[in-house]
Structure 1
Amino acid sequence: MRVHICAVGRLRTGPERALIDDYLTRFDRTGRALGLGPLRLHEVEDKKGGGIAAEAALLARAIPNGSVIVALDERGTLLTSPEFSEHLAGWRDAGCGDLALVIGGADGIAPDLRARADFCLSFGRMVWPHMLARVMLAEQLYRAASILAGSPYHRA
């Protein structure tokens, strides 16, 4: 199952970029044997200032056709890391070819795009900067692959 992080904003060189690149590499290395990956990052940017609706249109174009869509949203479902890994394995085992995890911009995800999501995931009720949410998601994907592989990375 190919995994896509579709996010608003372009990450520049810096600590967040280094962390994401590290977790993407780790996920690809661990997930390959599990039928997970590759993991691709699709970054979109609304240069015309069209707001949340314009961001949603750009995100929608970045989502591969037929994907299971997971929207990251503060109103979504809270999961433990093992529960998230179970969801990941479930989508894979159900024959999902592409999984798109969607991160909106500063104002979140437009309601129409959020309504298209098959699942809404929350990292808690706190609001996280969308660039940091990307790092957190990349780490959780690697953690999920590690859990599924039986690796000692995750200690419950």
Structure 2
Amino acid sequence: MKITLIAVGRLRKGPEKTLVDAYLDRFAKTGRGLGLPPVALTEVEGRGALSEADAIVRALPDGAAVVMLDERGQMLSSPDLASRLGAWRDQARDIAFVIGGADGLDAALRDRADLAISFGAMVWPHMLVRVMLTEQLYRAASILAGSPYHRA
């Protein structure tokens, strides 16, 4: 099993990068005993949603469950995300989480997703979505480890 986070754009030094690195490190430590591999971060570039979509498609692992972060997606609870992550782990299925750029995700790419999730009705800057997703992945691993999710 592999877990990949594919994100448009480069995250430079700053508070967002510090938080993303911290949550990915926490996920790796918590997930180690649960059969969850560390998350591999793949940053891609493109100009416009269509070009970004091409770059994302090239980065997608074959056969992976594709989870898009999209404002039109489902709003999952933290336990729901943990349950899905655990199910994919139990199936030994690779997972690719995809965060688009400022222009969002191309419609054809969205249609390819196994799951589209949203962090609410508000639109979030894509760099903050990285922080929010990595925190939720860490929280999901904590839930799978039996920790109270509100204390993760």
| TM-score range normalised by the length of the shorter chain | over 0.9
Structure 2 counterpart of 1:10: 10
Structure 2 counterpart of 1:23: 23
Structure 2 counterpart of 1:90: 87
2:118 equivalent among 110, 116, 122: 122
Q: Deviations over 1:85-139 (max 9, x none)?
A: 011111111231x100000011111011111111111111100000000000000
Q: Deviations over 1:52-91 (max 9, x none)?
A: 1000000111111111100111111111101110111111
1:80 equivalent among 72, 77, 86: 77
C-alpha contact 1:146 1:154 (8 A) present in aligned 2: no
Secondary structure, counterpart of 2:33 in structure 1: helix
Go from structure 1 to structure 2 and tell me whether the alpha carbon gap of 1:154 and 1:37 turns closer, same or farther (over 3 Å shift): farther
Q: Percent identity?
A: 61
Return structure 1 stretches of 4+ with deviation > 6 angstroms. none
Residue 151 (str. 1) matches residue 147 (str. 2) = yes
How many residues are matched?
152
TM-score (norm 2): 0.95
Secondary structure, counterpart of 2:138 in structure 1: helix
Q: Deviations over 1:23-54 (max 9, x none)?
A: 000000101111111211110112xx3x1100
1:109 equivalent among 101, 105, 114: 105
Q: Shift in Å at residue 153 of structure 1?
A: 5.4
- Structure 2 unaligned runs (5+)? none
Q: Shift in Å at residue 151 of structure 1?
A: 2.1
Give me the CA root mean square deviation.
1.3
